[in-house]
A and B are shown apart, each in its own frame.
Chain A
Amino acid sequence: MTALSAPPASTPAPARPRRTGLGVLVGVLLVLLAGVSLFVGVSDVSPASVLGDGPAAFLLVASRIPRTVALVLAGASLGIAGLIMQMLVRNRFVEPSTTGVTEFATLGMLATIVLAPGMPVAGKTAVAALSGLLGTWVFLRVVRAVPVRSLVLVPLVGIVLGGVVGAVTTFVAYRLDLLQSLAQWSQGSFAGVVQGRYEFVWLAGVMVVVAWLAADRFSVIGLGEEFATNLGLHHRRVVAIGMVVVAVITASVLVTAGLVPFLGLVVPNVVSLVIGDNVRRSIPWVAVLGAVFVVACDVLARVLRFPYEIPLSVVVGIIGAALFLWLLLRRRSRAH
């Protein structure tokens, strides 16, 4: 069995894209940032002061730990939601907030406030997740129906769709005098995260595990329907799992903290450049980098105008948009 025209031996094989050293570094960074997040805030909470039964210990348990946990889970899961959407749509520039999914979920939240004001948070999350799911479905249908091949047009379609749904939401909220509640979600902030009011973000964490379990399937789906079918994969079923993962993550972060833009776009793209598109390999990177990104932005939001807080979405938006522009420009040659 002779190999036909074997590659010349002079071509050096680069190291397998695993990057263990870099991985350890990013992990340590996350632990450090999480530590900082525990001890940064208006009230003095220092490692020394929490020993004992004082108010500092209470504050740590009731507010700082929940906030840090929520940040880590939200960051990790939003990154994963972006990654999964990019695999489903086979487009690098989609994530829940560029495909109308977030806007649909927000509309669902508003509906619960209008129609069932007394609904517990669990119910609200469920309704938001269901309408987010509807949003994913509508987006996928629209993208299928409009044969857009251009990489930039697909998210544009999503943004238009989101704009329409967002306008409906704003209109309804305006007529019913609910604009203030609406502003709460459209401005992501973890300032209101306290014990007993953030636990739904764990659902997003569960979805990260689901995504990790189905990682290989998402990699194969990312190669296209024909490719997946040839390998005996049930394309529709995997897409359905992906849609649920995306919708639940979007909804549970939305009820906990509100909108955190760009994250799902920037983090998976950076990881793709370094690690590649094998989802099994990239998922831990996306999760950890997503968490690092959000925790870092939140710490910044807390210290920039100390003792006041800037909304997290503002910090994420500025840094994320800059990173996104950089990605868009540096990828241009390969993107088209």
Chain B
Amino acid sequence: MIALEGVSKRYGGQTVVDDVSLALGGEGVTALIGPNGAGKSTLFGLVGRLVRPDAGRVTVDGLDVATTPSQELARRVAVLRQDNHVAARLTVQDLVEFGRFPHSRGRLTVDDRDHVERAVAHLGLEGYRDRFLDELSGGQRQRASIAMVLAQDTRYVLLDEPLNNLDLRHMGETMRLVREMADVLGKRVVTVLHDVNSAAAYADRIVAMRDGRVVADAPARDVMRPEVLADVYDTTVDVREIDGRPVALYYG
């Protein structure tokens, strides 16, 4: 389990994460939603030890993030950030192999190679191994990043806005991959999503944040209600049932 206990983070005078206590990383997919500046990415930063909390404690499987060696944590949690759009001239194979870094420190064992092969095959990247990342499309790069995360072989996978800059087809594809990671590979996935409907369609649980606080935390269906969403986003949101699924309508 990833546990936050009374965690706060301030930047300047502004409190970005305000006394949050939350347990993440249950089975399945958890979506973290909320308006811009709600503190979602900062929360990820706190778990991914990129941001130091001003108060409170973050633990992963009981290990305090502040004191546990980074390498140890890297074998348990993988964090893919939104600005991880790697544009370096690395090949897909290189990137996926870097996913084994917490395990091998760069010297790949037979076991490491197995993991890399499986991740490459799982994402259908065999034909792209030797392509440079800066020569791929956004969707292909996204797949390569996900393959790297799979090669990292962690129990928890944190994805920060994986749908950014993707077109409709790749959005759907990415969300199906996320679902598959949880259902087939047994990963506990937590993902920040901007699109409520993607969250409703693919997540089991939705945690909604606003102004640095958790304002809703429930099974997806229970969060997809006009009054809850209106409170989270501070605007009127209509929710309709289409083919048995709740869909938020936020246009006009």
Contact = CB atoms under 8 A, between A and B. Distances in A.
B137 to A, nearest CB: 10
A220 interface: yes
Contacts of A51: none
A227 B86 contact: yes
Contacts of A233: 70-71, 101
Report, as a range, how many residues of chain B touch the other chain. 35 or more
Interface stretch (A5-13, A116-124, A240-248): A5-13
A277 B50 contact: no
Interface stretch (B5-13, B120-128, B229-237): B120-128
Interface stretch (A14-22, A76-84, A165-173): A14-22
B84 A1 contact: no
B72 interface: yes
A43 interface: no
B74 A232 contact: yes
Contacts, number: 112
Contacts of A234: 70
B89 A277 contact: yes
B94 A278 contact: yes
A207 B50 CA distance: 30
B88 interface: yes
Given A5-B173, A9-B127, A232 B78 contact: no
A30 B40 CA distance: 54
A3 to B, nearest CB: 3
Interface string A207-227: 000000001110110111111
Interface of B: 48-50, 69-75, 78-81, 83-84, 86, 88-91, 93-94, 98-99, 101-102, 105-106, 121-125, 127-132, 134, 140, 152, 173, 176-177, 180, 184
27 contacts: A3-B121, A3-B124, A4-B124, A4-B176, A7-B125, A13-B127, A15-B130, A16-B129, A219-B98, A223-B86, A223-B90, A223-B98, A226-B48, A227-B84, A227-B86, A229-B49, A231-B74, A231-B152, A232-B71, A232-B74, A232-B102, A234-B70, A273-B89, A276-B88, A276-B91, A277-B88, A277-B89
Interface of A: 1, 3-7, 9, 11, 13-17, 215-217, 219-220, 222-227, 229-234, 272-273, 276-278, 280, 334
